[in-house]
Structure 1
């Protein structure tokens, strides 16, 4: 019998892979949330406070975490351990296989899958933000204009971009908005990205209640013309994908508009456009912003959405999405998408 070194380790200490994954998971939680208290860690991880305390003591002995009055944080050595183990742990989890299968079947550039279900886990939402920030750093290179949409998935990215100095980048809201309407979030999120990256941003306030005639006039206003010019030069877009019916409710759409979405079988929404299962545009909101046809010319596209409940919406958008799209999603959405396909 010829055992490999790894096989011999497992034969001698069969619980080793489980221990490694448990400590890796705890270290990742601390990296995402730190400085963080022990009780919070216990709640987030699912371990008892006693188990959490024991694990933290072990991690501290190995100089992987610091335990201070303000909470637990990861050391430089701990960050390096996370980096080295990342691919091996992800491979073992099956998420790589999920991502590769979705990449092949969706015919887009790449899919990245994080653990969990965003519908039920705040941690998974944070992992989506962390993974998107990581991919953004990897791919942004010398691109100067980045458009971002509203939504909680995109809003979760800037906290993981701290200390990313991109002073020559301009973040812009992907479409206009004003008041309590969701489009305002894009303005706020663009500002959050700029603050995190020591960059600049451009907000765009568009009153969505304008009539069709006023909308046509507004597009010729200097502010609108300036934004339209920026949209034509955009080199990267980061956007969410919404469930059509939920987005209609959040936007306080009229009963007539909601009925139209039902009749036309709208499943997903992005950029104010609604899509059916085949990826066809069945309705759109009157606004000024990035147009769907413009996306084909944008070299770098990030779509961020998770949760099993959003699987149908994600598929409806991706049915006609540009092939250069990079999707960041979670296990629950990925598994449900494959089941639906």
Structure 2
């Protein structure tokens, strides 16, 4: 009788499967399901309150798939569905934060960012999903990631200079007022001919409003002759800004494609010809750079000088989209080593491809 009760060798065999491995063996589609629902929850967080049809369009899922996923998120108290649209609950936000590191690790974006930072010889790279050339969601992700890194690192730094451009303009929407009211936001250079909402002065004001902080505008006429430009630098407003630039402790800036920036500024045919002949690829702070990172042209304006950036402890470069890869590389070829780049997958992958090819 005792022999019949003795366990067989199979029954005493030690199992090496972890709980996670066992889950995957039983439900192999689990990682995909988690990523899909995480992605949907993140879209709602970025865009909510948002309608189902809009969510379907942004996510790439059919309306039926979107409806099913939203019902599941609602049942788990992760999303709230109301007349004005879908929004994320507090529990949903906690889930997003808890899963963020794991999802990023699985996506390969962290490895991509690490390799890019090493090749570019800069402090850090953060890569968000997608391509800013085609996705407004990706642009929002860039803004959200920049705001997150800024809030975590600003600490004792008080004077923050910001440039114009659509990428930087996305950041204020994701800022929070906690302990940031003592900051002073300033335009990194005098306003020129960009669209009003994308000018540095307007964006500095947006940052200040979002953080319940202060800002200082600086208007620079972009039609001044060289002689008038020299005189303007001695005006009280210009001298005050030059003093602030020398004390700037943080800079948040974009990087533009040289050709596109020249067109946006209504540059003369002569200036555009100069840029083409000198093989300008990227632009930042009114300076144009070739592939080697050398300054090949600059516009007349009063603002932060490239050499001053070396003394700024906290530098955030924000730019994405595959089409901007070459422009980003041209600026970063000579950028300060303390630069933190925030970009997207499409730009990051294209930059690596270009560096490996070249």
TM-score by length of 2: 0.93
Structure 1 position 270 matched with structure 2 position 284: yes
- Does the CA contact (< 8 Å) of 1:177 and 1:183 recur in 2? no
Look up the match of 1:99.
113
TM-score by length of 1: 0.98
Which residue, 167, 185, 203 being the options, matches 1:171?
185
Q: Does the C-alpha gap of structure 1 residues 168 and 109 become closer, same or farther in structure 2, counting only changes over 3 Å?
A: same
Give the gaps of 5 or more residues in structure 1: none
- Give RMSD over aligned pairs: 1.3
Look up the match of 1:304.
318
Look up the match of 1:80.
94
Distance in 2, Cα, partners of 1:57 & 1:180:
44
- Does the CA contact (< 8 Å) of 2:187 and 2:200 recur in 1? yes
Task: Report the secondary structure of 2:74's partner residue.
Answer: helix
Shift of 1:182: 7.1
Look up the match of 2:165.
151
Which residue, 210, 218, 234 being the options, matches 2:248?
234
Look up the match of 1:128.
142
Q: Does the C-alpha gap of structure 1 residues 44 and 326 become closer, same or farther in structure 2, counting only changes over 3 Å?
A: same
Aligned length: 341
- Does the CA contact (< 8 Å) of 2:165 and 2:198 recur in 1? no
Shift of 1:230: 0.5
Look up the match of 2:332.
318
Look up the match of 2:61.
47
Structure 1 position 205 matched with structure 2 position 200: no
- Does the CA contact (< 8 Å) of 1:181 and 1:251 recur in 2? no
Shift of 1:65: 1.1
Task: Report the secondary structure of 1:252's partner residue.
Answer: coil
Which residue, 259, 273, 279 being the options, matches 2:293?
279
More displaced, 214-223 or 174-183? 174-183
Task: Report the secondary structure of 2:340's partner residue.
Answer: strand
- Does the CA contact (< 8 Å) of 1:150 and 1:184 recur in 2? yes
Distance in 1, Cα, partners of 2:212 & 2:29:
45
- Does the CA contact (< 8 Å) of 1:107 and 1:323 recur in 2? yes
Task: Report the secondary structure of 1:25's partner residue.
Answer: helix
Task: Report the secondary structure of 2:234's partner residue.
Answer: coil
Distance in 1, Cα, partners of 2:247 & 2:74:
49
Q: Does the C-alpha gap of structure 1 residues 179 and 120 become closer, same or farther in structure 2, counting only changes over 3 Å?
A: closer
Distance in 2, Cα, partners of 1:32 & 1:179:
30
- Does the CA contact (< 8 Å) of 2:222 and 2:301 recur in 1? yes
Shift of 1:53: 1.1
- Does the CA contact (< 8 Å) of 1:177 and 1:184 recur in 2? no
Give the gaps of 5 or more residues in structure 2: 1-14
Distance in 1, Cα, partners of 2:318 & 2:22:
41
Look up the match of 1:27.
41
1:232-286 Cα distance to aligned partner (Å, 9 max, x none): 0000000000000110111111111011111111110000000001100000001
- Does the CA contact (< 8 Å) of 2:292 and 2:333 recur in 1? yes
1:181-239 Cα distance to aligned partner (Å, 9 max, x none): 67971000000000111011000000011111111110000000000000000000000
Greater Cα radius of gyration, structure 1 or 2:
2
